Amino acid sequence: MINVHFVYLGAALGAVGSLVYVRDTLRGTTQPNRVTWLLWAFAPLLAFAVELHSGVGLRTLTTFVIGFMPLLVFIASFHNAAAVWKIRRVDYFCGAMSLAGTAAWLATRNGVVAIIAAIAADFLAGIPTMVKSWSNPETETVMSYIGAVLNSGILLLTIHHWTTEVAAFPLFIFIIASVQVVVVGFTLGPRLRRARAHHRGAVTPMTIDQTPTSRDVPGPGSN
Residues ≥6 apart with Cβ < 8 Å to 220: none
* Tens-place pLDDT, residues 159-169: 988 888 788 88
- The DSSP call for residue 145 is H
Greatest mean pLDDT among 42-51, 124-133, 173-182, 195-204 lies in 173-182
* Tens-place pLDDT, residues 101-129: 777 767 776 767 777 877 888 888 889 99
Radius of gyration for the chain, computed over Cα atoms and rounded to the nearest angstrom: 25
More confident residue, 149 or 204: 149
Q: Which long-range contacts (CB under 8 A, 24 or more apart) does 184-187 make?
A: 184/133, 184/137, 184/140, 184/141, 184/142, 184/145, 185/142, 185/145, 185/146, 187/137, 187/138
Burial class (CB in 10 A: 0-12, 13-18, 19+), 87: middle
Helix axes 60-76, 164-185, angle to 10 degrees: 40
- Whether 147 has a pLDDT exceeding 50, the answer reads yes
Question: Nearest CA to 33 among 101, 149, 166, 134?
Answer: 134
Task: Work out the average pLDDT over 175-197.
Answer: 94
pLDDT, residue 95, reads 80
pTM over 0.85: no
